[in-house]
A and B are shown apart, each in its own frame.
Chain A
Amino acid sequence: MSRIISYPEALKEAMTLEMESDEHVFILGQGVDDPKAILGTTAGILDKFGPKRIFDVPLAEDGITGIALGAAIAGLKPIHIHIRNDFLLLAMNQIVNMVAKMRYMYGGVHTAPMVIRATIGKSWGQGPQHSQSIYPMLMNVPGLRIVAPTTPYDAKGIMAASIRSSDPVIFIEHRSLYYQKGDVPKEAYALPFGKARTLAQGDDVTLVGVSQMAIECLRASKCLNEVGIHAHVIDPVTISPLDIDTILTSVKKTKHLVVVDNSWLPGALGAEIIAACHESQDCDFKSLRLGFAATPCPTTPSLEDAFYVDGVSIAKKIYHMLRHDSDWIPNTIIHREEVEFKGPF
């Protein structure tokens, strides 16, 4: 039986169910217990569990991350929430030098079962300091699991897995995904890490999109259908560890791989996936990386289309890759409003 709920509701359900079944789970972060409840994702949790299980903290990202880590090695399971990826940059020391290395550095004596949630902002003047993605920087660090689910179903399942995991998990959300709705079972369930999701089937090109870019890839695939190009659209869901097998299986068929990052290109997922597929030495293929233009994010709306890629620009790049024609423009009308976020926040 189908039950359609939103992305934030899916996150809230997962956290609530895990908090019910494990009293060690608690939530901390700026504004987690306030009336806006992190865009609804923590709504009702204070009423249900009380202030011991969910509480506000001062502006002190690095310190609070370290404190959450200390609680985690002593047996608790903190969920630390940030409303933007950009604020996580203040906690880089604790995340990279401490959280990621807890298990390894002490020979397995310690574990760091904690979840760090952070949202990527976009549009409406979010600008240089409220729109960044942090996963490419953290992908480089062993010891962290990184997830970036796109569908409400995956959001709920991978959130449960993240909370239950004995490893630290960086949980990347995107502000525009909060408008996504989808079929989500009522009961608790956890999905495995390192398992990509196929969003559309096709034999002409393998199209991988991270987080909100998976939605743009789906739109691109709809545009391409009109000219008989069928894209195989894959959402990695987990960024570390990456499900290369699912991608490689498709690339062997399509011989064309396009990866769309939700970030700048150097050292990001596109480079990683394309290199990993080449290293398998099983097949020859053409590849292309797409993502942010190599500038800080402009605030003015007039530069947004030049900075970000979207369904149409992705489709055009793929058309050029396959048919060597850069003038084609798709007829398919894409309704941006469905997914685009309108400010102020």
Chain B
Amino acid sequence: MRTSENSHKLLEEVYKSLFLIRHVEEKICDLYPTDKIKSPVHLSIGQEAVSVGVCKALTREDGVMGSCRGHAMYLAKGGNLKQMFAELYGKRTGCGKGRAGSMHLADVQAGVIATSAIMASTVPLAVGWAYAQAYQNTGNIGVCFVGDGALDEGCVHESFLFAKQKKVPILIVCENNEYAIHSHFLTRHPSKDYILNWASSYEMKCKRFEDDDPLALYDYVGGVADELRSGSGPQFIECYTSRWKEHVGPGDDFKLGYRGTEEVEKWKRKDQLIRIGKLLKPTVKQKIEQNVLKEIQEAVEFAECSPFPKPTELYENVYGGENE
């Protein structure tokens, strides 16, 4: 029996995290028509389980980095919910003081080191961050989430080489939702195995998950984390998943015709949120849901009540202090 299924506490945590991410994203969809969130939103609906499975296997001090589709990663790693909503609203109480918006979320206290709107730009960043952990013997590891599109950038490959050569404690997780905007994986790559073959050629230990089962990911990443902490060098995971919403924005996009509804329906039928929910006692499940919905409501209210940055604060954080 897998370790993860032994633990009720873990199941509850996984469910809470999945439910939180799903309902935060749905709240954003509800709010979007009000124009209060003036930020492009790359929603994680459908992809929650990858972040949850991986992040639950990490310590709070381990660091995660990812792209502008970063809400799931931020929340799964324990990023502050109030500061996230305030950031989406452009308020000065946001995690980036209103300068970040949806695309540059970070909560360093929770190990959410950075997300970036330039595809793949956080891959070298994550390798460097993890390198610094080994250098300073912190015992922390880094995890970088990267899309199947971003993975093609040259800096990813340059980073793989460095990570391998220096035995950097980093796990690279490719979230393969099969699309880069509207472009299918196979129009950009010759075969399904291409990504895994690539990663293997850097002599990294690699594994593919055809499904986004968060418990299977949790179990596997737990083992990987131990290996990384022991200094055995970088590893790679490719995990299939599915983006249910449009590339950016709150709607769906089946009217565009680049993909059929069945592709997504197939994933909706094995929705991990529903599956994990069924493993919990109904009373426990209900309690979790009530608490999470209350937390979301409070976060939205916090964002609504928070002040905007003032024009006089425009030049904040461009440089450090005068005397440095």
Task: List the interface of chain A (C-beta within 8 A of B).
Answer: 30-31, 34-36, 56-63, 86-87, 89-90, 123-130, 293-296, 298-303, 305-307, 342-345
Contacts and interface: CB of A to CB of B under 8 A. Distances in A.
Contacts of B311: 302-303, 305-306
A114 to B, nearest CB: 20
B183 A34 contact: yes
Contact of B183 (A56, A126, A298): A56
17 contacts: A34-B183, A34-B256, A56-B183, A59-B120, A60-B152, A87-B118, A125-B103, A128-B104, A129-B116, A293-B315, A295-B318, A298-B99, A300-B38, A300-B98, A306-B311, A343-B249, A344-B249
Contacts of A129: 103-104, 116-118
B296 interface: no
Given A34-B183, A298-B99, A345-B249, A63 B116 contact: no
B104 A31 contact: no
Contacts of A302: 90, 98, 308-311
B154 interface: yes
A35 B153 CA distance: 23
Contacts of B103: 125, 127, 129-130, 299
Interface residues of B, number: 47
Given A125-B40, A303-B98, A35 B182 contact: yes
Nearest to A58: B152
A86 B182 contact: no
Interface residues of A: mostly helix, strand, loop or mixed? loop
B40 A59 contact: no
A345 B38 CA distance: 11
Contact of A298 (B120, B153, B314): B314
Contacts of A306: 311, 314
B318 A294 contact: yes
Given A86-B118, A299-B101, A293 B183 contact: no
Given A56-B183, A59-B180, A345-B249, A295 B104 contact: no
B258 A299 contact: no
A303 B315 CA distance: 10
Contact of B90 (A34, A61, A90, A301): A301
A57 B188 CA distance: 6
Given A31-B183, A58-B188, A343-B39, 17 more contacts: A36-B256, A56-B187, A57-B188, A58-B189, A59-B120, A60-B153, A125-B39, A130-B117, A295-B318, A299-B96, A299-B101, A300-B92, A300-B99, A301-B90, A302-B98, A306-B311, A306-B314
A34 B116 contact: no
Nearest to B189: A58
B268 to A, nearest CB: 22
B132 interface: no
A316 B310 CA distance: 21
B314 A307 contact: yes
Contacts of B101: 125, 127, 299-300
Nearest to B314: A306
Contacts of A63: 154
Interface string B140-162: 00000000011011100000000
B249 A59 contact: no
B66 to A, nearest CB: 14
Nearest to B317: A295
A305 B308 CA distance: 13
A291 B308 CA distance: 23
Contacts of B305: none
Contacts of B54: none
B257 A35 contact: yes
Given A34-B183, A56-B187, A303-B98, A124 B154 contact: no
Contacts of B40: 124-126, 130, 343-345
Interface in B278-324: 308-311, 313-315, 318
Contacts of A126: 40
A127 B315 CA distance: 15
A63 B149 CA distance: 15
Contacts of B309: 298, 300, 302-303
A127 B99 contact: yes
Nearest to B35: A342
A184 B204 CA distance: 57
Given A299-B100, A302-B308, A31 B153 contact: no
